[in-house]
Amino acid sequence: NRSILANACRKDTLELINARVKFREPIRPLAPMVTREAAAALFELSEGAAADDYNAYNYMVLTVKARPEARDIVPAVVHEDGTARIQIVRPETNPLCHAVLKSLGRRVGAEVMVNTSLNVGGPIAQTPTQALETLRRAKAMTGLVMVSDEGVSRIVYHNLHEAPKDAGQQLLAWVSAFRETAIAI
């Protein structure tokens, strides 16, 4: 995954990402990455896409209607017209992201997070160097986690615009808790 991930439960996430990370129009929606269970609970999955346990939703290509409660639970990913372009994440196809979603669900109550491309005004980052350059350009992005194919994680911080309020301790604590309760990274 080469993605910017954020808390979908916060009302200000959409504005923050559009204005201070991506520098784009405020009307632009953010897409949710969800577990299969959260998708069924928060969104109206199409019976036309039901084949193979709704695998058509694995690729963020279909729009669904959000259930009424979704706007309150995950406001950052429900567009003004009440829809969302979901991506269902499954343990067998993306165990790391699925484990992150399950961990997030335990912490904030929803197995959903914002998933938007890792780029700022250009092509999606392809290399670690490009990812670091994207981090520098995004004013409100304060941390970057890189995971190798072998599962080794690296956490990179910057303070080009503003120092992190806690010198990155919150992210370090979350990664530590994640390692203890989910799969090894």
Query: What's the residue count for the chain?
Result: 185
- CA distances to 35, 158, 160 from 86, in Å: 10, 30, 33
DSSP lists the bridge partners of residue 83 as 65
**Domains of the chain, first to last:** 3-181 (3.90.870.20)
Q: What is the pLDDT of residue 183?
A: 42
Distance CA 13, CA 19 (A): 10
Q: What is the pLDDT of residue 175?
A: 64
Task: Give the residue from 128, 72, 100 showing the smallest Cα distance to 5.
Answer: 100
Q: pTM (2 decimals)?
A: 0.81
Q: What is the pLDDT of residue 148?
A: 76
pLDDT tens digits in sequence order for the chain, 185 residues long: 789 999 999 999 999 999 999 999 998 999 999 999 999 999 999 998 888 899 999 999 999 999 999 999 999 999 999 999 999 999 999 998 999 999 999 999 999 999 999 999 899 999 888 988 888 888 888 778 887 777 767 766 654 455 556 666 766 676 666 555 544 33
What the block records as the tokens of 138 is 């995004």
Q: What is the pLDDT of residue 178?
A: 53
